[in-house]
Structures are given as structure tokens and as C-alpha cells.
Structure 1
Amino acid sequence: MQLPFIVSAGEALTDLVTAGGNAWHAHPGGAAWNVARACASLGVPSAFAGAVGQDNFGDDLIRASVEAGLDLRFMQRVPAPTLLAVVYSANPPAYRFLGENSADLHFDPTRLPAGWLRKARWLHVGGISLARWPLADTLLGLIETARAAGVKISFDPNARITHRHPDYPKVFEAVARRADLMKFSDEDLAFFFPGVSEADVLRRLRGLNAQAPIIVTRGAQGATLYHAAGQANLPAAPVQVVDTVGAGDALCAGLLVSAAERPEALWSEHLRVGLAAAAAACAHAGAYAPTRADLNL
């Protein structure tokens, strides 16, 4: 089995979603895992790098990873419970994470397959994993190792309540300085920079990293690409929206797959692929992983 072009590192978790009363539905998830799954679905050798528990939820995540075609050599199992996201209200959305000493925190990059850094083109990070310790420090070390080997870094912070941690801003800045691509939703910007105009946010981000393309997604209004030559506004791909679950992760996957396959192409072209992948996710219920056929490009 060949080593992956794209590695997404961080958290895999179980979304435990209320179905009313005492009924709950369990779904494999986690931002990093969702991105890896979508990259594999789009036909590029991909892996999720992280740890899950030796429990029934870990079994479900392993099974779903096999079905997705992910490289299981990057997925570790440890004697600790799998991280849970308990969604106790669907409307309005309300959730909490159950993850004290959970499996994700025990990820060990030294156990990854030999030679993976020579093959990988992109390492993707983000989600809540960078606001959970000691995992955040582990991932910062992995980023440094990957950069030294010439692997490019993609960063999608994907704002969640855990990012209120007082130590997170330092991690955010450290990753932003090292990123080769940054992706935010307009809601992310409002969360991380409350009351600050987008122009001022861009100035702050450019103070950390003058070169990396910055993509800001705007739901039905499409996305804006900020890059060295200026900016470009791209419309959302037309779609009959079923729900928007997983659209941001699908967009990241489209970006990464396009950038891995066609590194010489313009970032506006990569973003067009990302927007098509996001539209495909919106056309299906749940965290749908788009396929190459869905893109219609």
C-alpha cells in the first residue's frame, strides 16, 4: 500500500446526537477525520493521523475509516475512551465534549509509518485538537517535523467552544505563522476576532504570515481568496441544500486534493474545486464525503 499524499492530523471522535427522550444516535466524526475521509473519497491516497479508544466507539471509527479507504497505519488505538461530542440539542445547536484523558490526547507521531514524510505533500491541522493538551503540543511538534521535510501545512481552526482556552491564542499564532494555506469561515473570524472588521483581521493575519493564501468562506455567498496578487471572490456552486453539515470539511478536502494533484495551478482553481466539494456535501444529509463524480468540473 502506497503512503498517502495528504495526512490530516488531530481528533477523531463520536458525535452522540440526541434523538429525543432517552434515544441517542452515534456518528463517527471530528474535523480532522472528516477532512481525511473526504480526501480519500475524492480519490487521493489519504490518512487520518490520530488516536481512538479500544472501545465500541473506536471500533466504529476504525470500521468507517476502512470503508473510506483511509490508511490505517496512521490511526492508533490506545487504552483510553474515545473522545465524545454530545449534541444534546439540535435546535438551537448545543453540545459539550467529553474528553478528559481521552484517546485523542495520546497520539504519538513517532509511531507513524517510516518514510511517510517523503511521500506526503500536505499536512492538515485544525479543529479542537489544537485546543486540547498535550495533543496541541504534539501537533505543533509534528508541524515542525513536516515543514522541515518539505511538507506543506494547511490550517482550518474550525471554531468551537474549546477554543476559549486561554492558551489557545498562542497556538493559533504559532500555526498561522507556519501555514502554507489558511481557511476560515466568516463565523470563525467573528469568533476569533470579535468586533474586528475583516480588513483588520486580514492585516493581523498578514502580520503573522505574509505569503500563505487565506480563504474565507461565506456559505451561500461563496468564498473570498486573499493572496499575494490581491483577492478574488468566487460564487458558491449552485445546489439544492439539504443541510450544511460537513460542508467546511468537504471544502478543505477539495482544496487539498486539487493542490496535491496540481501544485502548479492557481489558488482560484483549487478554491473552485473546494466550492464544488462543499456544494456536493450540502446536497446530501449528514457529513457526506463527496466523490470525484460529484464535482462536475
Structure 2
Amino acid sequence: MPELPEVQTVVSGIQPIVGSTITDVTVNFPKLRKPLQKDLASELSGAKIISITRRAKFIVIKTHVDLIIHLGMSGKLTLQELNYQPIKHDHVIFHLADKLLVYNDPRRFGMVSWHTCTTDLLAHYGIEPLSKAFNAEYLKNYTHKKTTPIKNLIMDQRCVVGVGNIYVCEALFHAHIKPDLPAHSLSKEQCKQLVTCIKQVLDQAIQQGGTTLKDYRTASDTMGYFQQRLYVYGREGQPCLKCTTPIINLKLSGRSTFYCPECQSL
């Protein structure tokens, strides 16, 4: 599933259409995670794109209303030329004066919908990991009395958004923290180190264009490259790139959790 870096990469890739007007909307398949609004085309036809931002893993295209897009498991949002010929699973096409914005989703787990206000829709999500608000003090306070493994807590969208399985495994490795360590047991210094590593891992992933896992594509329909820099994720049994100890795959809440038993011994 695309996580924060992948979504941010897409948001950055479609910035050129800010200021454009949506002239028409073609709906080829009316049901994704839930049925598309029947007035999706009529509401957005003629709408001027004011801004494109990200909140958690949602793409927010602001017009006179907010167009919210979630990529689900396999969705991709790409810019295409006007002579583009639609392919299978191109479910929604937004027509602009000189481009097409195409939403393609083979598994149809994504979401495309418009809202007059996104505040209530996204109110239950936690803070952004790349914001100043996500700091050691915040994490230390949030982990207070929480016995859940630190890896699970970081993946909880109520704590902090968008840090998926790949990125939390990598961040915990660089912070030298064992994934199943009870969250409340982290020291203030460990919280500081983990926050720093999460920000660094996410920043690096954004710079590299996201991951190459599964079906992810950038807005220009190219694959990401962050997988080339993974230290632990997906490397079970392979030697640690820092100490050569074999990487272990630990199951936490049913999710594969990769770590080095030597570098992350605390």
C-alpha cells in the first residue's frame, strides 16, 4: 500500500496542474472502495484547481470543494497527454485544457470523492511526521503507560500518520531500537533518536521517489527507487549491512517486522 513518501511523491508530481480548470470528468467504473458520488462529474466540471496537498495518505485537490483521493492498495494517479488512450482499470479521468489526470486502480480499494470540508473527515488522524509538532516530547508523552510494541504504536495513524511497515522497520533499525520494545519503556533520548530517524527515512524516501514495492508508480508513471536503500525490510536471513548479523523477521500483529538482533539489541 502506498505510504506517505509515495503519496507525497505523487502530490509533488501533479503540482503543474495547479491553476488549471477541470473541463470534464469521465467515470469508467462507478465503484471503488465505495460507490463514486453520482454528481462527481457535474460537481467538478468547470472547477479550478487552487492547490494540491497531502494529509496523511490522502491527496487533497482543492477547488471550490475538496477532491479527496486515496490510492488504496494499487491505485495510481498520473498525468497523461490529451492523446492518451485509456487502458484497463482507468476508472476516473479528469480532463484539463492540456493534460489528463488519470486514476487507475486494478484492485479498486482506493477512494475518489468530493467534500465541502475535510476537517471532520480527517479529524481522527494523528500529526504529520515531518512537522515540527512531531518531536521527542510529543512521542515521549504519547508513549506514556502504553505497553504496545513501539513498532505498532508508530504505525497507529492516531499517533502519527503515514509511517508504514517499510519505513518504521528502517527507522527503528537506524535508531537502534528493537521493534517489540514496549512503547512506554523508551527513554527521552530514544524518542528523540527515533523521531530523527523517522524524519530522515521519510525524507530520503521522498527524494528517491518512494518504494518499488508492488504496483506503486509516480505521477509520471515511473517506479520509485527507495527499495535500493533498504537496510532491513525484506532482507530476512541476509547479513546486516552494518554488522553482518543475519536479519530476523519477527511477526508483530501479523505484520512482517525486520530487524537486526545485534544492532537493535536494546
TM-score, reference length from structure 1: 0.27
Give the number of the structure whose residues are more often helix, by fraction: 1
Give the number of the structure whose residues are more often strand, by fraction: 1
TM-score, reference length from structure 2: 0.30
Query: Which structure would you say has the larger RCO, counting Cα contacts within 8 Å and 6 or more residues apart?
Result: 2
Q: Give the structure with higher Rg (CA).
A: 2
